[in-house]
Amino acid sequence: MTKLSVNINKFATIRNSRGGNNPNLIQVAKDAERFGAQGITVHPRPDERHIRYSDVYELREIITTEFNIEGNPREEKFVKLVLDNKPTQVTLVPDATGQLTSNHGWDTIQHQAFLKDIIAEFKSAGIRVSIFVDPDLKMVEAAASTGTDRIELYTEAYAQNFQQNKITAIQPYQDAAALAKELGIGLNAGHDLDLHNLRYFAQNVVDLQEVSIGHALVCDCLYLGMENTIQRYLYQLKA
């Protein structure tokens, strides 16, 4: 079964909007795990508009499932954060400073040398590495040459086109997944996956190991409650 990692960034956004500690991220992470999540994801950004760097150190102490830290490894502060906390996985994302949300994967050809070096550094610390890529076969092939353990397919295009033609929407992801399997690298996915499109994706993309879901899941929590929401997402991932 594909693992569900809950991205708790949006809970931090709500907290930060009022200044206090409500919702409490430590309790959010504990509850997400208690309700069945197999991982917790955070994506700290330089402006700390949602997850703060201090949150990561506190969360590391209490998370009992897989801990996934996402971010841009060109930022020295991010690299230090990852090496200090040694999460289960680091997901490398090519976000620009101030970017609202991730909107593209790495050019694994152009940035091959940089990725090789930073991936080697993280792996030498015992951290599994995943890199964010578009479902482009050239990028997947070049990703395998970086030494990464996994790739995370950027699924916004799938989500946008799912209602119009789900077969066409998923085809590039099926091709990318098949190539990743052939090349011996693991497969994650994330961005705009939700209760409407997740099951079809998980059932039709081979060897999908993990999905990271935040925005849609937090929105669903407002209507369905957190425990019910996480259980519903887990149900979508069942074979």
Residue 6 has a pLDDT of 98
Is 191 among the catalytic positions? yes
Residue 1 has a pLDDT of 87
Catalytic residue among 33, 152, 191, 210: 191
101 band by pLDDT with thresholds 50, 70 and 90: low
Question: In whole angstroms, what is the distance from residue 54 CA to residue 148 CA?
Answer: 27
CA distances from 200 to 99, 169, 170, 218 (A): 29, 11, 9, 21
Residue 100, pLDDT above cutoff 70: no
Catalytic residue among 33, 43, 66, 210: 43
Residue 104 has a pLDDT of 72
Range in 2-11, 101-110, 190-199 the model is least confident about: 101-110
70 band by pLDDT with thresholds 50, 70 and 90: very high
Helices (H), 43-163: 53-62, 76-85, 112-124, 137-144, 156-161
In 3D space, the residue among 56, 80, 54, 58 whose CA is nearest the CA of residue 69 turns out to be: 56
Six-digit token string for 19: 């200044």
Residue 96 has a pLDDT of 62
Six-digit token string for 111: 């940035």
Residue-wise pLDDT tens digits, 48-59: 999 999 999 999
- Spatial neighbors of 74 by CB under 8 A, at least 6 apart, are 114
- Spatial neighbors of 77 by CB under 8 A, at least 6 apart, are 46, 53
Residue 3, H or E segment: strand 3-7
Catalytic residue among 33, 66, 70, 152: 70
103 band by pLDDT with thresholds 50, 70 and 90: low
CATH superfamily of this structure's domain 3-236: Aldolase class I (3.20.20.70)
Domain ranges of the chain: 3-236
CA pseudo-torsion sign 142, 143, 147, 150 = negative
Is 156 among the catalytic positions? no
- Cβ neighbours of 45 (radius 10 Å): 23
Residue 73: cis peptide before it, omega within 30 degrees of 0: no
Residue-wise pLDDT tens digits, 189-233: 999 999 999 999 999 999 999 999 999 999 999 999 999 999 999
Residue 151 has a pLDDT of 98
Region 136-143: mean pLDDT is 97
Is 104 among the catalytic positions? no
Query: What is the 8-class DSSP label of residue 92?
Result: E
Residue 216, H or E segment: helix 215-224
Q: What is the mean pLDDT of the chain?
A: 95
97 band by pLDDT with thresholds 50, 70 and 90: low
95 band by pLDDT with thresholds 50, 70 and 90: confident
